[in-house]
Amino acid sequence: MNAFHSLFNPRGVAIVGSAAPGKIAYHLLRQVTEGGYEPVYAVNPKAQGAFGVSGFPSVAEIGQPVDLAVVAAPPQSMPQVLADCHQAGVSVVVVITAGFAETGNVAGERELVRLAGEYGIRVVGPNCAGIVNTHHRLFATLEVQPPAGGVSMIAQSGALGGVLLAWAKEHGLGIAKFVSYGNRADLNEMDFLRYLAEDAETAVVALYIESVGDGREFMRAVEACTRRKPVVVIKAGRSGSGRRATLSHTGSLAGADAVYDAALRQCGALRVASMEEMFDLCKAFTTVPPLRGRRVAIVTNSGGPGVLAADRAEEVGLSVAELSPELKEHLSAFLPAHCALGNPIDLTVEGTEEGYRRTLEAVAPEYDAVLALNIAPAYLDSLPLARGVCAAAQGSPSPIVAAFLPGPIVAAAVAYLEAHGVPNFATGERALAALALLAEDSARRPMVRLLPDPPGGTHSLPGAGPLLEPQGMAWLKENGLPVPEFRLAADEEEAVQAAHEIGYPVVMKVVSPTILHKSDRGGVVVDLRDDAAVRAAFARIRQAAGRDLQGAILYPMIRDAQEVLVGLSRDPQFGPVVTFGLGGIYTEVWRDVALRVAPVDKAEALEMIRQIRAFPLLAGARGRPAGDLDRLAELLVRVSHLPFEYPDLAEMDLNPVFVLPDGVWVGDVRVIPGMAP
Amino acid sequence: MNAFHSLFNPRGVAIVGSAAPGKIAYHLLRQVTEGGYEPVYAVNPKAQGAFGVSGFPSVAEIGQPVDLAVVAAPPQSMPQVLADCHQAGVSVVVVITAGFAETGNVAGERELVRLAGEYGIRVVGPNCAGIVNTHHRLFATLEVQPPAGGVSMIAQSGALGGVLLAWAKEHGLGIAKFVSYGNRADLNEMDFLRYLAEDAETAVVALYIESVGDGREFMRAVEACTRRKPVVVIKAGRSGSGRRATLSHTGSLAGADAVYDAALRQCGALRVASMEEMFDLCKAFTTVPPLRGRRVAIVTNSGGPGVLAADRAEEVGLSVAELSPELKEHLSAFLPAHCALGNPIDLTVEGTEEGYRRTLEAVAPEYDAVLALNIAPAYLDSLPLARGVCAAAQGSPSPIVAAFLPGPIVAAAVAYLEAHGVPNFATGERALAALALLAEDSARRPMVRLLPDPPGGTHSLPGAGPLLEPQGMAWLKENGLPVPEFRLAADEEEAVQAAHEIGYPVVMKVVSPTILHKSDRGGVVVDLRDDAAVRAAFARIRQAAGRDLQGAILYPMIRDAQEVLVGLSRDPQFGPVVTFGLGGIYTEVWRDVALRVAPVDKAEALEMIRQIRAFPLLAGARGRPAGDLDRLAELLVRVSHLPFEYPDLAEMDLNPVFVLPDGVWVGDVRVIPGMAP
């Protein structure tokens, strides 16, 4: 924590590098002095200063306490710079300088980290865009200087951080801290997450990542934050080409995007796709208290924009519920008949200071949030309307947010709104999209409980190659999974015997190491009702299998079940991942799959089951009885532990799993052993 | 056409209404004079002028040609105003005045239209926001005055029109004409669409609607436009609450949103959801030529924003294809190793004037469009980069668009880009979303062929209530639909006889006016293989049906078919609509349905079939044979004509239709007669 204190609240800052006009260190000196931070020193061989800052040939020669060095000197000078910093007692260096691992100079970067470690100096970067702490007036970055506030951003891409800071300045978003960590040779996103979790000046954390190192450590670091404050994440590389680009420009292996999605959800972060969404959401989090629910009202002076906002609200999962009769009556006491007393409430020409104020005051108690939407014509001053909105917002039982537009026409009104704590969004639609995510955060974050990894087991699978079905089923049974009674039969007579033991009707399936798609090869015969049928089926299976026949496996016939798929895989970043869906076309065409980083507990497993869009089929839609979701969830929990107990379990599919009203049964299994990770 | 010429290119304009400061007519006079239009006259009882405009007590007393009167006088003065306008030879009045049908004053509005009709005067409004013709310097509106250009907007909501005009001014989008038509008492969206189709100054039409009158006439008017130029549409009321609000504030009946969606698609319009998308798309259409295809390249100076742009590009259906080996080689001749030569191409610090220019010149010939993405740090001047982009765009074989950000930092660069014909978008993502719609327009609009309604038939359904299955099947057969052989049987013996005629195996279904869900009631027995089974099935069905049994219907058993659903309904706005999907959960949970305003031809029917996400199931996925899509399309075409031939056909479901590799068969039918529309 000491290093972070030195980083964001240093007693003195040295800007290391040529201070000649146009050079990076020159721009940094301007930024730092313009920001108002002192004391700052310029360090370069010529001892050149700029912007009133004195120059020194080395940090050591400054002779005053310097905790932080921001370095824009050439890569090859780094050993010397570090030695100098060490001598001067510097705790942290922020290395803006590029030309390390990102351009292939891996050795230079390793040496940088090694030396710093030796000196006990922590490193941000190299190849980064610097840091900001508005509350310390410290702007050691080349980006725009934003106003002070509660949003802290951690950005793998300096440029994207720069966009947020520039918009923050342009549209009034308060920033606490900003750090661009570049190649993350030493300090990385996880370190900053853990620090910002405890940082009192940070109310919400914005995170831009392209990849992470250890996925599970990352999740724990995010959760450390979300236990205290919201975390908004952009994870780039959702698409094929995006991921390709991510790989090439960060040089690290990226896990599947769907796994990132699940992982972020599990540790309580909110994922957004664009900088605009991130901006809006940060603004909402720093100005709006947690939402109690999803009921919103829209109060507007113009029908069309009100309707578009309502459309969007429902698309993002908010409820634009009708006004209560009492509220309608209350409103009609002061609003004339030409106002539409629905939701949206269209004030038309009653969209005055008084109209907005009284309507918002009346509406707010009935809703979880209210949007005051105002489309200003060019000839009218919107400032009084802003006053009306702010008066209503004062002491309102529900948050009121605004969307005053368009652009310059409403500049004074928007400034008034923001100065009085009512956030203004670019459009009504964007305001509502942010509110929807706020509601999601309120509902979800308190429930987050990241499970620790179970202790690593030492069991081994009963084989080094893919398991045959009887092996797989026996292994599942040993491990407590609901496997139906089964028998292996080597010939017709054993099959008949097995059928008697199981009881008719039965199902028979081929057992062969070379037949992967049993159904396609005529290797599955269902609903066998007597001995003759069993004998005939075995003969057919024998013929289908040819030389590789290892027998047939028999099960009781299970009818009228809903079939589901439960899968296990290992992600390069996040390790064991458990998957749930209906299988077949539901998975392949609709990608209707729920996925979690393993292990999961029963509550999370039930969430997975409810998450798929085909859930109605399991819950008893279309005249079917409801499935035994309780046992299905227990099966998911059990499966999610297997890869920890069996380090050599690479992949597994239970497909199908039969879900009945009073139980679940594994219908088939495919187990792929692999190297222990 | 004469009226439109008078409206947009009048020889003189009278502003009718009190010209006292703060009044609507006062603001209008300021707008019109600031815009530079002449001659303009103020008309009000006091003959008061403003802003150097002379006042007259009546239009007739002006004594000069006046083609257009813009009226902001009280509703009750309208008869007098119209009489005056008539006397003065005015051709069109734009009635800004509110207080007509929208507040319940339907009689006043009717009288206004009646009088105007008597005088041969056309009316825009009432309750509208006026009109603009930038090319005539005429700004007869209260909204912001935008720069001149090729976009014309028709807006049912004046406020939304105002937003577009304000953004047009703020972000440099050229506007040709604008009209807000308010209550559309006389001239409506269809009149304006037909006029703008022929208007040489209009390159693209932006349309905001909440509802339309006659859906089919509307489609023809849109198609008149799309035959010549792109039409971008926002149709509000997508959601339940949005539609509710639309109903209440326009007082008209809204058709189902999905039908609007299909209708707009069929007449070649592009539907967008937000004003931001509409703005971006209008900008793209007026600056970028039609796209040949969907291959885009992204050239950036910053990895992160490049990846986010690539992610979005793929989400909107563009291809961010890898560079060819030749292109890579070409680029590596002048770009150093630390540039990422993928797609996106990340120039990093080589994102200079030369770097952008040479890279864009090299890349453009290989792609259908190129995005030049530049994230400017605060300390660097982006103007040279804009010069580089514009130099490459000059004579480029593929369009180059830009996203220079953030905000004020790049203001000069953006101004340079736009002045040199390179459109700049708010973010890379928004630029690519617009390009994707451009590509869709290029591919789709030339193919649009709106079918005329077939001549109205005089046939009647064989019954006034819902048809029983045998009736329905017989009727379908008469009308040329592929109905399998079937027999009606009154008892066991007739059933056996029928089965013999059809040939085993057969299916038997109950016929009863009171059993709607035959399967749920045990009224369907499949795969009957001999006389005994048929007798037993009939007995079961008799028992299930009770007193209302009218017999059983027998069909040949059809196996291994893919089942689909074909439906017909009548939309209040658009009339007959044909629906196609897989039925069951596919329709109910996934809403995976294709829908068209009827009739459709075979090409359109094939489009419908290909449009559903479950199409792979019909095309032969997962080891199934492909279905007979040709005959399925013919069935859709045939079905789509029935509501025209049978005016009393209200609703019909063919569910299932069996799709086999060599034919399609109707499996069941539900026909609901109704009043002829």
Q: Which long-range contacts (CB under 8 A, 24 or more apart) does B390-395 make?
A: B390/B416, B390/B417, B390/B420, B390/B421, B390/B422, B391/B357, B392/B356, B392/B357, B392/B358, B392/B359, B392/B360, B392/B361, B392/B364, B393/B360, B393/B420, B393/B421, B393/B422, B394/B420
Q: Is A520 on the interface with B (CB under 8 A)?
A: yes
Indicate the pLDDT class of residue B290, thresholds 50, 70 and 90. Answer: very high
Mean pLDDT of B598-620: 93
> pLDDT tens, A363-394?
999 999 999 999 998 888 999 999 999 999 99
Residue A654: both structure tokens together: 């239970």
Q: Is B301 on the interface with A (CB under 8 A)?
A: yes
Residue B220, pLDDT above cutoff 80: yes
What per-residue confidence (pLDDT) applies to A305?
92
Between the two ends of chain A, the Cα-to-Cα distance in Å is 32
Residues of B in contact with A240 (CB under 8 A): 314
CB contact under 8 A, B239 and A311: yes
Share the mean pLDDT of chain B: 93
Beta-ladder partners of B345: B299, B341
Residues of B in contact with A616 (CB under 8 A): 585, 588-589
Residue B215, pLDDT above cutoff 70: yes
Burial class (CB in 10 A: 0-12, 13-18, 19+), A194: middle
Provide the 10 A C-beta neighbour count for residue B291.
23
Residues of A in contact with B146 (CB under 8 A): none
Range with lowest mean pLDDT among A109-123, A173-187, B276-290, B455-469: B455-469
Residue B245, pLDDT above cutoff 60: yes
CB contact under 8 A, A340 and B377: no
Asked whether the whole model's pTM tops 0.90, one would answer: yes
Under 8 Å between Cβ of B373 and B305:
yes
Residue A590, pLDDT above cutoff 90: no
Residues of A in contact with B322 (CB under 8 A): 241, 244
Mean pLDDT of B616-624: 79
Under 8 Å between Cβ of B160 and B153:
no
Indicate the pLDDT class of residue B675, thresholds 50, 70 and 90. Answer: low
Indicate the pLDDT class of residue A560, thresholds 50, 70 and 90. Answer: confident
Q: Give the sign of the dihedral formed by CA A529, CA A532, CA A536, CA A537.
A: positive
Alpha helices in B483-583 (DSSP H): 492-502, 531-545
Pairing of strands A400-405, A369-375: parallel
Q: Is B590 on the interface with A (CB under 8 A)?
A: yes
DSSP A375: E
Q: What Cα–Cα distance (Å) separates residue B161 from each residue in B152, B166, B171, B175, B284?
A: 10, 9, 15, 11, 18
What per-residue confidence (pLDDT) applies to A246?
64
Q: Is B359 on the interface with A (CB under 8 A)?
A: no
A-B Cβ pairs (cutoff 8 Å, strict): 290
Indicate the pLDDT class of residue B464, thresholds 50, 70 and 90. Answer: confident
What per-residue confidence (pLDDT) applies to B247?
57
What per-residue confidence (pLDDT) applies to A31?
95
Q: Is B254 on the interface with A (CB under 8 A)?
A: no
Residue A45, pLDDT above cutoff 80: yes
Residue B458, pLDDT above cutoff 90: no
Under 8 Å between Cβ of B109 and B101:
yes
Q: What's the one-letter identity of residue A404?
A: F
What per-residue confidence (pLDDT) applies to A250?
39
What per-residue confidence (pLDDT) applies to B493?
95
Of residues A252 and B393, the one with the higher pLDDT is B393
What per-residue confidence (pLDDT) applies to A675?
67
CB contact under 8 A, B349 and A98: yes
Residue with tokens 């079918």: B451
Residue A607, pLDDT above cutoff 80: yes
**How far is it, in rounded angstroms, from Cα A298 to Cα B90?**
42
Q: Is B237 on the interface with A (CB under 8 A)?
A: yes
Pairing of strands A487-489, A369-375: unpaired
**How far is it, in rounded angstroms, from Cα A328 to Cα A362?**
10
Residue A511 backbone phi and psi in degrees, to 5: -115, 115
> pLDDT tens, A504-545?
999 999 999 888 778 777 789 999 999 999 999 999 999 888
Angle, CA of A407, A412 and A415, to the nearest 5°? 95
DSSP A53: B
> pLDDT tens, B64-87?
999 999 999 999 999 999 999 999
Mean pLDDT of B309-332: 96
Residue B333, pLDDT above cutoff 50: yes
CB contact under 8 A, B163 and A313: no
Percent pLDDT > 70 in chain A is: 97
Q: Which of A266, A222, A258 is nearest to A237 (CA)?
A: A258
Residue B97, pLDDT above cutoff 60: yes
Share the mean pLDDT of chain A: 93
Helix A531-545 to helix A492-502 angle (10° resolution) is 130
Q: What Cα–Cα distance (Å) separates residue B325 from each residue in A189, B319, B328?
A: 36, 17, 5
